[in-house]
Structure 1
Amino acid sequence: MNTKKISLALTSLTFSYMFYEQTAGINFLVFTLVVISTMLFVRPVLLNNKTWLIAVSGSILSALMIIWQHSMLAIIANGFSLVLLIGLSNHSQSSVYVGLYKGISTLAMSFFKALFAGLDKYIFHQSSKQKSSFSISKSATFYVFPLLITFVFYLLYASANPIFHSYFHFSLDFISGKYLLFLGLGIFLSFGFYYQFLSESLTEWDVAQPNVLVRVKRKVKRNFQLTILKMENTKGIISLTMLNLLILFFNIVDFSTIFSSQALPDGVNHSEYVHQGVNTLIFSSLLAICIILYYFRANQNFYANNQWLQRLSYLWLLQNTILLTGVIFKNQLYITEFGLTYKRIGVYVFLILSMAGIISTFWKVHYQKTLWFLLRTNTWFAYSLLVISSFINWDNAIAQYNIHTAKQLDVTYLLNLSDNTLPAIKSLLSNSKVNLNTNVYNYAHLKNDNHTSSTPIISQRAFILLALKRFEANYKAKQWQSWNYADNQIFKQISQ
């Protein structure tokens, strides 16, 4: 019996049953566990693949966070992890960027590859002597026909006993065109977990790229080679000296502005000041990394007299770290005054990634690593940061901080966040210090009334009351596949 076909059928049915007309909840964990189990059923050797097991951990943890936090970030992390499961399933040393590329390509194309391969076998080998070759009739006999017979008897038993019917959420609506399309989507995606699209050549090329630099010795005149290395070294020293002086002056001006009462230039508000600092950090970090990669390429890493080039590179990285610290301080001042938003949290995410890039660049220079080392290290770090970030209920954290800590409260911004903020914004109804009479657009009305040409305008208080009522109605209508702990706690808190 073909293990791939069994796994494909099980995964497709699980996908359709767990996600059809459902919201995020326990269904993600069930589907993730089914995918992992069936992939091991098809290829038990995956247990020896360390990078694949890391993606397994990320998949399970992010699925658990969907249940615990019910956040979009956890859903994104779970999606990335499942794609990595596909891309990293062939080699224990695959890089994240290659794994993502292979995973996306396989999800998109493996169905068509398997389909055309099956048709080729059926057309050209149907009458061959190999009786065990692909056969549509055999597949229908072994898989489709038993499923149809079982389903017919299910309908008979369900019509005979309503209690039996209540244990399963199947009905005649189950065979709707909408459901069949959704089932087709499940089959299409499930092919990616068991049928690889790309060959092993890409993974083999990726693994062949070393992490540690190797000195290349060429048969040329030694004096000529040393002259080139010396000239490159001198240019690098001059360039990094000038850049260090420039960024030193910038940091002095920047920190003197932060720690003094000096007013900002005309036409520049605090928001623009912070964002300009982030943009400066972006270009400065990229410039630092690119310059260092340029000057520490090939045999320049092994040049005996490159000590000053190394020292200036370390100083350049250190000053970029100081610049990063200044942006952190400015961003925190801005958050203290105006509260948390996703963009301001995004600034911190970028700063963390920038710091990782600076540290890995220092490591590359000091220990003579390659560009591939930088790519592998930073992509693994970014993936790990994505999974770890899904542990936090960011919407609730934003609402709690802005209501209880920030000096200014933007209620309208909180109303545009997810249902995770409902307990926090419900508390505003009884807060006499908060004015909820400001009018806002009720965009939720458009989801329920397609005939309305304009968006109704209501007060913030009315918006909150409608949001609470809508959540309670939706929660009571949910099936077990959509259950999650976060919604359960929200329902208990707003029902009190």
Structure 2
Amino acid sequence: MLSTSQKVLLLLGVVLFDYLFWREGGGVNMLVFTVFILVVQFVLLPRHAAVRRSGYFWLMVGGSLFGAAMMAVYGSAVAALACMASVLMLLGYVNQPHLKLVLYALLTAANSLAQAWLRVLQSVRPPRNAGAGVRRGWFYGRLFLVPLGILGAFHLLFAVANPRYDALSGQVLAQLGEWLAQLLPDISIGHLLFISLGFLVTTGVVVAVPVYYFADHESRFGEFIRRQRDRVASFGVRRPDFSFRDTRMLDLRKEFLAAAAVFGLVNVLLLAVNAIDINWLWFGFEPAPDFDLAQFVHEGTYVLIFSILLAMGIVLWFFRRNLNFYQPGLPWLRWGATVWVMQNAVLAISVGLRNYYYILNSGIAYKRIGVCFFLLLVFFGLVTVLLKIWQRRSAYSLIRLNSLAVYAVLLLLAAGNWEVWIAEYNLQGNFPSIDAGFLLTMPGRALPTLLAHRQGFDTTPHLTTEDEYGNAATMTAADAQKRLNVAVANWRAHHEAQTGWQGFTYADWQAYQQLGGHE
């Protein structure tokens, strides 16, 4: 049964969700609702709850507030992702305070959220003085909720797969919506579905259904590798000369020879690759006029990144068990693996240089930014591999540390006003070709920058865009200037039409002021 506090917070959360997000964009409303979620957790948590002493819990509290604040500032998709991921992980750590892996916290929260609404509906009872007919109707009404949910899921699948079914079902739903509009003029089917979504979200926030599976699974792992000794008991019987222990040592020696061969041969091969890259890319690289830099960067970057990940996987494989304790060859093995890791760091620098040359010659795009941050994660991952080699850390420890690094990078991405920086850099007029269509579809906060650097459309020799089929097409400078003017007028009209404060962002307000608006 729900407590009185949970009932009040559940009702308040549904009303607040509807008020903040119905027909509104993301902005200050995300910050307000995130603060509500945090208040709910502190109200419902016991004063001496174990989760209050968890560093991961406080990390997610800070991450949730930071992501929500970035939503209020920029309203970007990556800020929304950072905020929602932080809140989900926060709920996961509240559910199971001893968790450490952020992925397991996410899965725990998602599992709890999927069950919470059913738990709430099961706890609701009809009034005690209700008649038998009311109680019977209440029972069958709850019984059919799950089939109705399954029916809705299959309806969506069939609507996507069959256009005729989609058209016919759309007509039926439209007629049902008209009937409902006459019955309840202020509520539509879409609004009812949105309120249902608010109920699902709020129940997951207010009601924590214990999920032990991921916490139990994580409890089997440790931070460091322990030596696995043989469990063969003699029971007073004399061991033969060639014992199981001797067999294990022989197996370790074979595994050591295989690892030494792999590290030795691949170090030589990687040394040749790095020598070529250093001589070709690191100093004085100048692409020829007919050199396909895009293909050079795309294919080379993907292959080299896969090579680095494969190398990290091989190190994890050889250093997973008792080879960490094979004293006759351990120093050689460690130094061979260390040299290989350092060479992979050099390889990662070469990937960064390829990306840099592409940006220098073709401008910035989302993928180029993604490659930069991915390389940061690669360098961090290589450092953790060194920790595994020299400190005998487990794969679980590496996953835990690198998951935290991924989360940190997500917060860094949320803090950036990337579209404004991309537009300012790409419209310098120094590039032979830019994707004008991409720039003209940027959010409203980038429009003042596009206007301030609009001469870049005229000075760039070749402007490209995508046609309705997704194929590359040419755009004239005059067409780009015209589309920019239309985009500014449409965005200003859209901004002025929004009277609510829920979707307010500081970047949009600042852009409106720079475009000559008055509020």
Q: TM-score range by the shorter chain?
A: 0.7 to 0.9
> Mapping of 1:261-410 within 5 angstroms?
269-305=292-328, 306-404=330-428, 406-408=430-432, 410=434
Between the aligned partners of 1:274 and 1:393, the Cα distance in structure 2 is 25
Q: How big is the shift at 1:210?
A: 0.7
Alpha-carbon deviations, 1:105-162, whole Å to 9, x = none? Answer: 23333212443x437xx59x989xxxxxxxx89xxxxxxxxxxxxxxxxxxxxxxxxx
Would you say the 8 A contact 2:431–2:460 is kept in 1?
A: no
Unmatched runs of 5 consecutive residues or more in structure 1: 128-135, 138-171, 444-457
User: In structure 2, what residue type is equivalent to 1:235?
Assistant: A
Q: How big is the shift at 1:471?
A: 1.4
**Quick one: which of 20, 25, 28 aligns to 1:26?**
28
**Quick one: which of 107, 115, 121 aligns to 1:109?**
115
Between the aligned partners of 1:309 and 1:409, the Cα distance in structure 2 is 50
The answer on 1:210 being equivalent to 2:222 is yes
Alpha-carbon deviations, 1:74-111, whole Å to 9, x = none? Answer: 11111111111221112144310101111222333321
Q: How big is the shift at 1:342?
A: 0.5
Would you say the 8 A contact 1:281–1:320 is kept in 2?
A: no
Match of 1:14 in 2: 16
* Compared CA separation, residues 266 and 7, structure 1 to 2 (3 A): same
> Mapping of 1:50-449 within 5 angstroms?
50-89=55-94, 90-115=96-121, 117-118=122-123, 174-197=186-209, 199-220=211-232, 221=243, 222-259=245-282, 269-305=292-328, 306-404=330-428, 406-408=430-432, 410=434, 411-429=436-454, 433-434=458-459
Task: Return the TM-score normalized by structure 2.
Answer: 0.78
Task: Return the TM-score normalized by structure 1.
Answer: 0.81
Out of 203-212 and 336-345, give the one that drifted further. 203-212
Alpha-carbon deviations, 1:379-436, whole Å to 9, x = none? Answer: 1110111012111101111111112385345233211222222011112446694379
Describe the SS at the equivalent of 1:63.
Answer: helix
User: In structure 2, what residue type is equivalent to 1:22?
Assistant: E
Q: How big is the shift at 1:196?
A: 3.3
* Compared CA separation, residues 264 and 424, structure 1 to 2 (3 A): closer
Q: Taking every aligned residue pair, what percent have the same amino acid on both sides?
A: 26
Between the aligned partners of 2:88 and 2:439, the Cα distance in structure 1 is 32
Out of 470-479 and 430-439, give the one that drifted further. 430-439
Between the aligned partners of 1:47 and 1:186, the Cα distance in structure 2 is 27
User: In structure 1, what residue type is equivalent to 2:318?
Assistant: Y
* Compared CA separation, residues 333 and 319, structure 1 to 2 (3 A): same
Describe the SS at the equivalent of 2:257.
Answer: helix
Match of 2:152 in 1: none
CA RMSD between the two structures: 3.0
* Compared CA separation, residues 405 and 335, structure 1 to 2 (3 A): farther
Between the aligned partners of 1:439 and 1:307, the Cα distance in structure 2 is 56
Would you say the 8 A contact 2:117–2:200 is kept in 1?
A: yes
User: In structure 2, what residue type is equivalent to 1:494?
Assistant: L
* Compared CA separation, residues 36 and 262, structure 1 to 2 (3 A): closer
Describe the SS at the equivalent of 1:481.
Answer: coil
Between the aligned partners of 2:457 and 2:79, the Cα distance in structure 1 is 35
Match of 2:54 in 1: 49
Q: How big is the shift at 1:13?
A: 1.3
User: In structure 2, what residue type is equivalent to 1:251?
Assistant: N
Match of 2:473 in 1: none
Unmatched runs of 5 consecutive residues or more in structure 2: 130-137, 140-183, 233-242, 469-477
User: In structure 2, what residue type is equivalent to 1:482?
Assistant: G
